């Protein structure tokens, strides 16, 4: 068993947007997803489903569908035509050039149901938090595999388009798209708040 210093793994992980063309193996993807499903979840409901996309044609279809919705939103925002085309083409290129895309979805099927909106909204948030915990496990495991990744929340802004493109059922709510591959860049260490800046002690 390979042992890792968890603090070092956490601190050395980076969000990477540029990748080499190296293939990510099925064995690596299995280990990455296996780590994800061991995340804690509300009621142990494990409210996650994953789609692994390595087909160039499917990556292209998905990126273009998401890009079309992105373009509509940018037009509503009043962006100029050149800016819109630059942003949309960058988005499409980012997702099509990554060796693997991992779509993470939330399903509320195993979560509790309530008759009132306040408690039901809280239950939905619990599901989202559970999915986020799985994503963190996934990102850290990707790093230990010698790979890199970037967590994009873009599917939240085009859930219907993602569902339609991939043929997903309506109960699968796209939450995140994670690009995975061998890194082709080395970003600087990001600035972080100090613990003293974000904590209040009650003793």
Residue pLDDT, tens place only, 186-203: 999 999 999 999 999 999
Domains of the chain: 14-53+99-184 (3.40.109.10)
Q: Which residues of the chain have pLDDT under 50?
A: none
180 vs 59: CA distance, rounded Å: 13
Q: Which residues are within 8 A (CB) of 39 and not within 5 positions of it... i.e. 6 or more apart?
A: 130, 133, 134, 136, 137
pLDDT at 1: 59
Nearest alpha-carbon partner for 173 in 109, 118, 107, 74: 107
Question: Across the chain, where does the E strand assignment appear?
Answer: 48-53, 100-106, 148-152, 173-181
d(CA 50, CA 105): 6
Q: Residues 43, 29: contact at Cβ < 8 Å?
A: no
């Amino acid at each position: 068993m390979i042992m890792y210093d968890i603090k070092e793994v956490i601190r050395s992980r980076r969000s990477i947007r540029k990748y080499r063309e190296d293939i990510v193996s099925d064995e690596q993807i299995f280990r990455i997803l296996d780590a994800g499903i061991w995340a804690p979840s509300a009621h142990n409901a494990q409210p996650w489903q994953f789609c692994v996309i390595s087909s160039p044609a499917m990556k292209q279809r998905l990126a273009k569908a998401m890009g079309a919705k992105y373009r509509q939103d940018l037009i509503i925002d009043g962006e100029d035509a050149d800016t819109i085309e630059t942003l949309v083409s960058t988005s499409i290129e980012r997702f099509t050039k990554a060796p693997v895309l991992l779509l993470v979805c939330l399903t509320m099927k195993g979560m509790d149901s309530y008759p009132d909106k306040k408690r039901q909204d809280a239950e939905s948030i619990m599901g989202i938090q559970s999915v986020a915990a799985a994503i963190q496990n996934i990102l850290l495991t990707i790093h230990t595999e010698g790979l890199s990744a970037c967590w994009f929340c873009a599917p939240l802004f085009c859930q219907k388009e993602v569902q339609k493109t991939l043929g997903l059922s309506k109960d699968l709510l796209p939450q995140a798209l994670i690009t995975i591959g061998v890194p082709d860049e080395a970003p600087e260490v990001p600035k972080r708040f100090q613990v003293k800046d974000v904590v209040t002690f009650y003793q």
